[in-house]
Homo-oligomer: A and B are copies of this chain.
């Protein structure tokens, strides 16, 4: 079974982002990413580890990452006000609204506030619509990472049967649009799908984005299937488990992206690249 590692691709993307960030800085524009965090910034949830990891990667690439900590008691109005302030600040090029949010705050509703030109993680539902219509917009970094990883490993998509497991607004739906745009025949399945193994066995390419550790096994996969695992589920011992059981999948899959080391590092690198693009030109910029 081929391992679809993301480390090489992520390193190349980080290197390019750093070079373009340096060129921007030399021309007087310091690329800046703002991460709105409605949580205790000293906590140790997976969400906070992720924010720290993005901040470290940004710093290494010469991008300023600013965590806008609103605290775990932030109200929707306070989050909205922070997003509007960042939209209006010309020194800020990219905005991420980190989830989960406090109870009562709807991520999709609040993300509608993010200026699409600064929406580097494609969180604004309008960005998804523009994407679906073939208009310039930032895709959610995770969804774009799935396609980038497939391209990097030279997996053909046109005319092939792709199955996306999971229908979230941040991963499943945008991945489906990106695959359609590349001429794959796309099936989206989810928790209410009947006989999931039979449906996923129909996929030459399977994207697992369901958020349940090791839900997909060899039984779910056709012989030779190319499998991209988007899952990042925390295990009881503090580790990370994908949505695919790699040992079981190895008996049937032709290729599988590892967790960690597959989609994850590419996602982070694409967030940096999107921030650089936003600093260069806004969402209308070519990649």
Contact = CB atoms under 8 A, between A and B. Distances in A.
Q: Is the interface of A mostly helix, strand, loop or mixed?
A: mixed
A1 interface: no
Contact of A132 (B128, B134, B192, B199): B128
Interface string A164-202: 000101000100110010010111111011100001001
A160 interface: yes
A159 interface: yes
Interface of A: 108-109, 112, 124-135, 158-161, 167, 169, 173, 176-177, 180, 183, 185-190, 192-194, 199, 202
Given A185-B199, A186-B187, A159 B129 contact: no
A215 to B, nearest CB: 16
A192 B159 contact: yes
B167 A180 contact: yes
A156 to B, nearest CB: 12
B130 A135 contact: no
Contact of A134 (B108, B126, B192): B108
A171 to B, nearest CB: 12
Contacts of A194: 159-161, 185
Given A132-B125, A135-B108, A173-B132, A188 B193 contact: no
19 contacts: A109-B135, A112-B135, A125-B129, A126-B130, A128-B133, A129-B131, A132-B173, A134-B169, A173-B177, A183-B190, A183-B192, A185-B190, A185-B193, A185-B194, A185-B199, A186-B187, A186-B188, A187-B187, A187-B188
